[in-house]
Structure 1
Amino acid sequence: MSLNQSDILDVVIVGGGLVGGLTALLLAQGGVQATVLDAAPILDTDKTKSVANPRVLALSQATIHLLKTVNVWDKLARQQPYTGMQVWNKNGYGEINFGHESSKTPAVENALGTMVEPSLLNLAIQEKMLEQLQDYRTQVKVTRVEQGVGVWIIHLADGTQLKTKLVIGADGANSFVREQAFIDIDILDYKQAGISCAIKTTQPHQHVARQIFLETGPLAFLPMASLNPEQEGYWQSIVWTLPDDYADEYVALSDAEFTQLLTRESHHMLGEVVEATPRAKFPLKARAAQQYVRNGLALIGDAAHVIHPLAGQGVNIGCLDAAILCDVLLHDKKRGVWAHEQTLQCYEHRRKGQNDAMMHSMSLIGWMETSQLFPVVWTRNFGLKQVEQHTALKDAFLSQANGLQILKDTRYAV
Structure 2
Amino acid sequence: MNKPVDMLDVVIIGGGLVGGLTALLLAKGGIQATVLDAAPILDTEKVLSVANPRVLALSQATIHLLKTVNVWDKLARQMPYTGMQVWNKNGYGEINFGQASQKMPSDEQSLGSMVEPSILNLAIQQQMLQQVQDYRTQVKVVRVEQGVHCWIVQLADGTTLKTKLVIGADGANSFVREQAMIELDVLDYQQAGLSCAIRTAMPHQYVARQIFLPTGPLAFLPMASLNAEQAEHWISIVWTLPDDYADEYSALNDAQFMQLLTRESHHMLGEVLEVTPRAKFPLKARAAQRYVKAGLALIGDAAHVIHPLAGQGVNIGCLDAAVLCDVLLKDKQRGVWAHEQTLKRYEHQRKGQNDAMMHSMSALGFIETSELFPFVWARNFGLKQVENQATLKALFLAQANGLSSLKQTQYAI
TM over 0.5: yes
* Structure 2 residue aligned with 1:225: 224
* Structure 1 residue aligned with 2:185: 186
Alignment partner of 1:384: what SS? helix
> Shift of residue 283 of structure 1?
0.3
Cα deviation 1:13-42 (Å, max 9, x = unaligned): 000000000000000000000000000000
Residues of 2 paired with 1:365 and 1:86: CA distance? 16
* Structure 2 residue aligned with 1:266: 265
Query: Structure 2 matches for 1:4-403, cutoff 5 A?
Result: 7-403=6-402
Residues of 1 paired with 2:284 and 2:350: CA distance? 20
Residues of 1 paired with 2:409 and 2:301: CA distance? 22
Residues of 2 paired with 1:356 and 1:69: CA distance? 27
Q: What value does the CA root-mean-square deviation take over the aligned residues? A: 0.9
Residues of 2 paired with 1:316 and 1:108: CA distance? 17
Residues of 2 paired with 1:11 and 1:2: CA distance? 23
Alignment partner of 1:136: what SS? strand
Alignment partner of 1:378: what SS? helix
Question: Which letter does structure 2 place at the counterpart of 1:360?
Answer: H
Alignment partner of 1:398: what SS? helix
Alignment partner of 2:324: what SS? helix
Alignment partner of 1:168: what SS? strand
> Shift of residue 379 of structure 1?
1.1
Q: TM-score, structure 2 length as denominator?
A: 0.99
Residues of 2 paired with 1:227 and 1:82: CA distance? 18
Alignment partner of 1:186: what SS? strand
Alignment partner of 1:101: what SS? coil
Residues of 1 paired with 2:344 and 2:93: CA distance? 42
Residues of 2 paired with 1:33 and 1:42: CA distance? 20
The 3 A distance-change label for structure 1 pair 335 and 215 is same
Alignment partner of 1:225: what SS? coil
Residues of 1 paired with 2:276 and 2:198: CA distance? 7
Residues of 2 paired with 1:382 and 1:198: CA distance? 32
Residues of 1 paired with 2:247 and 2:155: CA distance? 38
Question: Which letter does structure 2 place at the counterpart of 1:249?
Answer: E
Residues of 1 paired with 2:109 and 2:206: CA distance? 12
Residues of 1 paired with 2:372 and 2:29: CA distance? 53
Runs of 4+ in 1 over 3 A off after TM superposition: 1-4
Question: Which letter does structure 2 place at the counterpart of 1:413?
Answer: A
Cα deviation 1:374-404 (Å, max 9, x = unaligned): 1111111110110000001000100111011
Residues of 2 paired with 1:350 and 1:172: CA distance? 20
> Shift of residue 50 of structure 1?
1.3
The 3 A distance-change label for structure 1 pair 203 and 2 is same
> Shift of residue 409 of structure 1?
1.5
> Shift of residue 108 of structure 1?
1.5
Question: Which letter does structure 2 place at the counterpart of 1:89?
Answer: N
Residues of 2 paired with 1:103 and 1:22: CA distance? 33
> Shift of residue 109 of structure 1?
1.8
> Shift of residue 405 of structure 1?
1.0
Question: Which letter does structure 2 place at the counterpart of 1:371?
Answer: S
> Shift of residue 3 of structure 1?
6.6
Cα deviation 1:213-266 (Å, max 9, x = unaligned): 111100000000111110010000000000111111111111111111111111
Residues of 2 paired with 1:400 and 1:89: CA distance? 21
Residues of 1 paired with 2:363 and 2:86: CA distance? 16
The 3 A distance-change label for structure 1 pair 51 and 85 is same
Question: Which letter does structure 1 place at the counterpart of 2:232?
Answer: G
> Shift of residue 167 of structure 1?
0.2
Residues of 2 paired with 1:91 and 1:97: CA distance? 17
Residues of 1 paired with 2:257 and 2:380: CA distance? 30
Residues of 2 paired with 1:381 and 1:55: CA distance? 29
> Shift of residue 345 of structure 1?
0.2
Question: Which letter does structure 2 place at the counterpart of 1:353?
Answer: G
> Shift of residue 141 of structure 1?
0.5
Residues of 1 paired with 2:3 and 2:166: CA distance? 17
Cα deviation 1:282-332 (Å, max 9, x = unaligned): 000000000000000000000000000000000000000000000000011
Residues of 1 paired with 2:105 and 2:3: CA distance? 55
> Shift of residue 2 of structure 1?
7.3
> Shift of residue 103 of structure 1?
0.9
Question: Which letter does structure 1 place at the counterpart of 2:135?
Answer: Y
Residues of 2 paired with 1:68 and 1:94: CA distance? 36
> Shift of residue 178 of structure 1?
0.1
Alignment partner of 1:129: what SS? helix
Residues of 2 paired with 1:202 and 1:94: CA distance? 26
> Shift of residue 189 of structure 1?
0.2
Residues of 2 paired with 1:380 and 1:397: CA distance? 15
Structure 2 residue runs without a partner (length 5+): none
Question: Which letter does structure 2 place at the counterpart of 1:10?
Answer: D
Identity %: 80
